[in-house]
Amino acid sequence: MSKYHDKRELAPRDIVTRAIYNEMQNKHSSNMFLNASIIDKQKLLMRFPTISEHCLKSGIDITSSPIPIAPAAHYFMGGIKAEVNGKTSIKNLYAIGETASTGLHGANRLASNSLLECVACAYELADYLSFANLETPNIIDDRIMNTINLYSNPISDCDYDIKTLKDNLKSLMWDSAGIIRCEDKLLKALDKLNIMNRDFRRERKCRNTDEYEYRNMLTIAQLIVTAALERKESRGAHSRSDYTNISEIATHSTSSIKNAKEFSYA
Ligand SMILES: Cc1cc2nc3c(=O)[nH]c(=O)nc-3n(C[C@H](O)[C@H](O)[C@H](O)COP(=O)(O)OP(=O)(O)OC[C@H]3O[C@@H](n4cnc5c(N)ncnc54)[C@H](O)[C@@H]3O)c2cc1C
């Protein structure tokens, strides 16, 4: 890491991620190594019991051998816009944790901030709900009934190999919207996503949880790619090879929300 940052392994997360990724590309390797053996053995085992046990099962003693590592992509720092107590713009819909966009994160999600967010926001929401009036009207209006009927319509008998579809989607996102992004690849990904969406004929009702999950994954993937295309700058985990600097004028994108509506299945 000394090639990349004077703080070496303690550099910001996106910098370490890109450094690992870059070295893997240059060396045509599927992983790099993390050497933790300089840390006191007892301390290492006490602080990382799950990782050390997991590695040992694969024959790696992390107290004496380097650990094979590879980066994971943080595809976006966002989610449902929510207040710190989980309130959203929809009455009685609350969002906390990974699903929420509370403004607590910057361009990186820093180690342990996310878990702290889950605990702090859950506490705030529980506190809020304990004093809130949770009564809901007992009437189901026509609009809700129409939606229920629409989504209960019979569906075609077509069977899908959801595992393969999900794997293809994951590969597409990793290759096109992963650690390093550029317009060309993002545009191609958007085209492919539109085709994948068109081919998956579940506009209304799905047949099982896997199908609903895949449909949701397609929606999220399209939102991520659209937002990544619009953010013409590099900032934290969002790294564009065609726009390498931080832009002074870049702000939160709203058109991805507009596109979400265009992409909706209703
Ligand atoms: C590779 C990686 C590394 C990370 N490193 C760190 C770190 O170092 N420090 C840190 O603080 N955070 C880290 N995070 C982030 C942290 O793990 C998450 O922010 C946190 O786990 C989110 O918790 P959550 O309960 O909000 O969501 P999740 O843990 O995603 O839980 C959501 C649950 O809901 C379930 N679910 C989904 N859909 C449905 C449905 N329709 N019906 C019922 N259940 C459903 C899911 O199966 C899941 O169990 C990391 C994340 C990743 C992916």
Ligand 1 atom nearest residue 212's Cα: 41
pLDDT of 135 strictly over 50: yes
Tell me how far the alpha carbon of residue 115 lies from the centroid of ligand 1, in angstroms.
Answer: 9
Catalytic sites, residue numbers: 13
Tell me how far the alpha carbon of residue 85 lies from the centroid of ligand 1, in angstroms.
Answer: 18
Ligand 1 atom nearest residue 99's Cα: 26
Buried b / exposed e across 41-77, counting CB within 10 Å, b at 16+? eeebbeebeeebeebeeeebebbeeebeeebebbbbb
Mutation choice for ligand 1 from 14, 96, 98, CB with most ligand atoms inside 8 A: 98
pLDDT per residue over 13-58, tens digit each? 899 999 999 999 999 999 999 999 999 999 999 999 999 999 999 9
pLDDT per residue over 200-223, tens digit each? 888 778 888 999 999 999 999 999
Domain covering 142-262 in this structure, CATH number: 1.20.58.100
Pocket of ligand 1 (CB under 6 A): 72, 97-99, 111-115, 118
- Say what the pTM is: 0.82
Tell me how far the alpha carbon of residue 238 lies from the centroid of ligand 1, in angstroms.
Answer: 20
Residue with tokens 């605990």: 119
**Pick from 178, 177, 225: nearest CA to 197:** 225
Q: Closest Cα to atom 48, ligand 1: which residue?
A: 98
pLDDT score, position 210: 93
State whether residue 97 is helix, strand or coil: helix
Tokens for 167, please give them: 């794997």
Q: Closest Cα to atom 10, ligand 1: which residue?
A: 112
Mention every residue, 6+ apart, whose C-beta is less than 8 A from residue 67. 33, 34, 35, 36, 51, 55, 60
pLDDT score, position 251: 58
In 10 A of CB 38, how many CB atoms?
A: 6
pLDDT of 264 strictly over 50: no
**CATH class (in words) of the domain with range 8-69:** alpha beta
Q: How confident is the model at residue 149 (pLDDT cuts 50, 70, 90)?
A: confident
Tokens for 203, please give them: 């506009």
Q: Closest Cα to atom 7, ligand 1: which residue?
A: 111
Q: Are 128 and 85 in contact (CB under 8 A)?
A: yes
Tokens for 119, please give them: 């605990």
Mutation choice for ligand 1 from 109, 116, 170, CB with most ligand atoms inside 8 A: 109
Q: Are 84 and 118 in contact (CB under 8 A)?
A: no
C-alpha neighbours within 13 Å on the C-beta side of residue 263: 24
C-alpha neighbours within 13 Å on the C-beta side of residue 133: 3
Tell me how far the alpha carbon of residue 99 lies from the centroid of ligand 1, in angstroms.
Answer: 8
Domain boundaries, the chain: 8-69, 80-131, 142-262
Q: How confident is the model at residue 259 (pLDDT cuts 50, 70, 90)?
A: very low
Tell me how far the alpha carbon of residue 11 lies from the centroid of ligand 1, in angstroms.
Answer: 24
DSSP H stretches of helix in the chain: 13-26, 41-47, 49-57, 113-131, 142-151, 162-177, 183-199, 209-230, 255-262
Q: Are 128 and 32 in contact (CB under 8 A)?
A: no
Rounded-to-integer distance, Cα 139 and Cα 150, Å: 19
pLDDT of 254 strictly over 70: no
Q: Are 22 and 11 in contact (CB under 8 A)?
A: no
pLDDT score, position 20: 96
